[in-house]
Amino acid sequence: MAWLLAADRAPGAPGERAAPSSPRGLYLLCWFLGSLLTAFLVVPLLALVLSQSWAGFAQVARMADVREAIVLSLEGAFLSATLAALAGVPLAYGLARTSFPGKGVVEALIDLPLAVPHTVAGIALLMVFGRQGVLGEPIAALTGLRFWGTLAGIVVGMLFVSAPYTVNAARIGFAAVDPRLEKIARTLGLGPWRTFWRITLPLARRGVMTGVTLTYARSISEFGAVVILVYYPMTAPVKIYELFLRFGLDQAAGAAVLLLVVSLGLFLVLRALSRGAPERENR
Amino acid sequence: MTAGIAVDGLCLSLGAFRLDGIGFAASRGEILVVLGPNGSGKSVTLETIAGFHRPERGRVLIAGRDVTALPPERRKIGFVVQNFGLFPHLDAEGNVAIARRGDRGAAGKSASAPPRDPAALLRHFGITHLARRLPGDLSPGEKQRVALARAIASSPDLFLFDEPFSALDAQTRDELRDELKAFLREFSIPAIFVTHDHTEARMLADKVVVLRGGAVLQSGPTAEVFQKPATAAVARFVGVENILDARIAGVSGGMVSVDVARTTLRAAAPGCAAAGSAVRIGIRAEEVMIAVAAGAAPSVNRLDGKITALRERGPLVAIEIDAGLPLHAYLLAPQARAMQLGAGTAVTVEVAPDAIHVMTD
């Protein structure tokens, strides 16, 4: 009887959860529908890659303007992700750890760029950062930094549409860090800053890295906002669009595959970096 | 009180919750247990002592220093929480080494002990072999040792424990509690331990503070609070099984007669209340003696009754008896079997007069 009661008292103990009878039908349905969606996502990209002959691909890869466009995209995305991290991570921490009137409004505002068509975002940005924009003109006059026809303009377009990813993922990451761990760190003699750097940020690392990676990926792929704000110099998506208009599908597809290979490679590396390490830590 | 902890008139509002004039003290090497139900304010009290809430009124003195205005990192506190709160991204040695040693802003004569070397601490706690392990790979016992080593690394003047064992099974809890007691005795640092479990409080505490609704209901040495709860509310909370409405029938010397339900009991209660006044009596279930042999010579507080219910509780059997008043009692399971007890069995019960505690409130 005693052991019966002891067992009753330990429902929270790890490893005590009973395995539910495996819902086979549900799993099969999930697998089936999931496979359809996965195929829908992968098949077009695969078809694109397979459409290219090696010779045609190599020829496009040797085109200086295509390579420049890809490098420009990578540069812009790197700067965009860096800025998103610098400003978005503190914002995410603030949203995760404090509550204030109007917090819901702030969170909705941060998500707004995700709901705005990117051409609309481009036009709005043009009004602010363009040649006659409310910020563009005075900033150019004061500092010489111009947002038209420059990398700076490209970064503005990329950042606007992609920053929400960093803020949201980092906020979720910070919210998952037990505040008691921060309190313990304080009692151990670490001040608030040291606690953030040594405890909170490393524990939220996965969320932060996921967010920055998504921002980076979204920045590389951005077309609408960038093309309205800065047509020249051309980022890779703009270049691909131009090739498509001027020379047709073949040329455009070659450049598209090149961009796909480069950006996918970088994306996978970043993903591995953001996922791999914490898993090793929690082993 | 220079080397202890004193909390004086702590008042604090947090939303709808309010701490109202919390005060208690413990000296070096003492374990003070704050006992209270969920929502009683025990965790808020602890966090206020640690410096995470600024009280509106009142003071916190640690080792004679008024720390009320200091941030947590300058209060010299070891803080241990449920599941021990190890940093999951750091290995055992990393957890111990992160404690900031040396100057922690302790001014004047209460200079901190020399910084403690993480490796030496791990050795002291017998966990050198765990140095490279991450918290996720440690057993509860190993986690507790790392947590204690980490807490002691910053040379604290006070330990705070916020229900560290509440997620553990009973046996592990017993083991870790013994180890914790030995640890606190060794380092002779005052400790405040928060729990909602009166059994745990009784096993650990030198002093007990019973908290409810943000106010202290009673505080004092453990034996006093558990054996002489001031009110029925405290009695209920420290696990007194039999709490009954009664009326003082007569007072003579150190004894009173109390009318309870359909019977009268004699209680050793020096000068507690006048005849005729309404009181409540508390009797711990283990003080209710049960015998099957009827017809023995009548003596003080011996009553005939009948068992109304039996319930197995591990090695014990909880027995409910109607003896003119409803009583809860315990027997060891084999005893109950030997006596062939069952619902309806006629029994004789006896309660010593000094086991009956009279409460006027």
Nearest residue in A to B162, CA atom = A180
A242 in a structural domain = yes
Chain A residues bordering chain B (beta-carbon distance below 8 Å):
1-2, 5-6, 9-10, 12-13, 178, 180-181, 183-191, 194, 198-199, 202-203, 278, 281-283
Nearest residue in B to A186, CA atom = B73
Residue type, A228: I
Whether B38 contacts B196, CB under 8 Å: yes
pLDDT confidence of residue B35: 95
Q: What confidence category does residue B247 fall into, taking pLDDT thresholds of 50, 70 and 90? A: very high
- Tell me if B100 and A188 make a contact (CB, 8 A cut-off): yes
pLDDT confidence of residue A6: 40
pLDDT confidence of residue A119: 94
Q: How far is CA B316 from the centre of its chain?
A: 22
Whether B37 contacts B15, CB under 8 Å: no
pTM of the model: 0.83
Q: What confidence category does residue B102 fall into, taking pLDDT thresholds of 50, 70 and 90? A: very low
A193 in a structural domain = yes
Q: How far is B235 from chain A (nearest CA, A)?
A: 25
Q: Note the pLDDT tens digit of each residue in A147-164.
A: 999 999 999 999 999 999
Q: Secondary structure of B288-348 in the HEC alphabet?
A: EEEECCCCCCCCCCEEEEEEEEEEEECCEEEEEEECCCEEEEEEEHHHHHHCCCCCCCEEE
Average pLDDT of span B231-251: 92
pLDDT confidence of residue A232: 93
Q: What domain count does chain A have?
A: 1
Phi-psi bin for A102: left (phi > 0), alpha (psi -120 to 50), beta?
Answer: left
* Closest partner CB to B167 (pick from A12, A185, A202): A12
Residue B96 makes CB contacts below 8 A (sequence gap 6+) with B118, B121, B122, B146, B149, B150, B153
- pLDDT greater than 80 at residue B241: yes
Q: Which pair of tokens denotes residue B96?
A: 């111990």
Q: Which pair of tokens denotes residue B324?
A: 């003119």
What percentage of chain B exceeds 70 in pLDDT?
Answer: 93
What angle, 0 to 180 degrees and rounded to 10, lies between the N-to-C axes of helices A249-281 and A64-97? 40
Residues of chain B with CATH 3.40.50.300: 5-233
What percentage of chain A exceeds 70 in pLDDT?
Answer: 90
- pLDDT greater than 60 at residue A137: yes
A101 in a structural domain = yes
Q: What confidence category does residue B109 fall into, taking pLDDT thresholds of 50, 70 and 90? A: very low
Average pLDDT of span A248-276: 86
Nearest residue in B to A10, CA atom = B169
Judged by a CB distance cut-off of 8 A, whether residue B296 touches chain A is: no
pLDDT confidence of residue A128: 96
pLDDT confidence of residue B298: 66
Average pLDDT of span A266-272: 85
Average pLDDT of span A228-232: 93
A38 in a structural domain = no
pLDDT confidence of residue A235: 95
pLDDT confidence of residue A280: 41
pLDDT confidence of residue A9: 42
Average pLDDT of span A125-149: 94
- pLDDT greater than 80 at residue B348: yes
Strands across the sheet containing B215-221: B77-81, B158-162, B191-195, B31-35, B207-212, B215-221
| CATH class of the domain comprising B240-359 | mainly beta
- Tell me if A6 and B153 make a contact (CB, 8 A cut-off): no
- pLDDT greater than 80 at residue B257: yes
Q: Note the pLDDT tens digit of each residue in B144-163.
A: 999 999 999 988 999 999 99
A270 in a structural domain = yes
pLDDT confidence of residue B361: 73
Average pLDDT of span A83-91: 97
What would the CATH number be for the domain defined by B5-233?
Answer: 3.40.50.300
A46 in a structural domain = no
> What CATH number does the domain containing A199 carry?
1.10.3720.10
- pLDDT greater than 70 at residue B119: yes
Residue A220 sits in which domain range? 56-275
pLDDT confidence of residue B291: 85
pLDDT confidence of residue A166: 97
Judged by a CB distance cut-off of 8 A, whether residue B88 touches chain A is: yes
- pLDDT greater than 90 at residue A219: yes
Q: Which of A48-62, A198-212, B106-120 has the lowest mean pLDDT?
A: B106-120
Q: Note the pLDDT tens digit of each residue in B36-92.
A: 999 999 999 999 999 999 999 999 999 999 999 999 999 999 999 999 999 999 999
Average pLDDT of span A93-114: 94
* Closest partner CB to B73 (pick from A1, A9, A191): A191
What angle, 0 to 180 degrees and rounded to 10, lies between the N-to-C axes of helices A151-175 and A103-115? 130
Residue B143 vs residue A20, higher pLDDT? B143
- Tell me if B72 and A203 make a contact (CB, 8 A cut-off): no
Q: Which of B148, B111, B157, B194 is nearest to B5 (CA)?
A: B157
The residue written with tokens 């007194």 in the block is B240
Q: Note the pLDDT tens digit of each residue in A7-58.
A: 444 444 444 444 556 788 899 999 999 999 999 999 999 999 998 888 888 8
Average pLDDT of span B334-361: 90
ipTM score of complex: 0.85
Residue A277 vs residue B269, higher pLDDT? B269
Q: How far is CA A65 from the centre of its chain?
A: 26
Mean pLDDT score of chain A, rounded to an integer? 89
Residues of chain B with CATH 2.40.50.100: 240-359
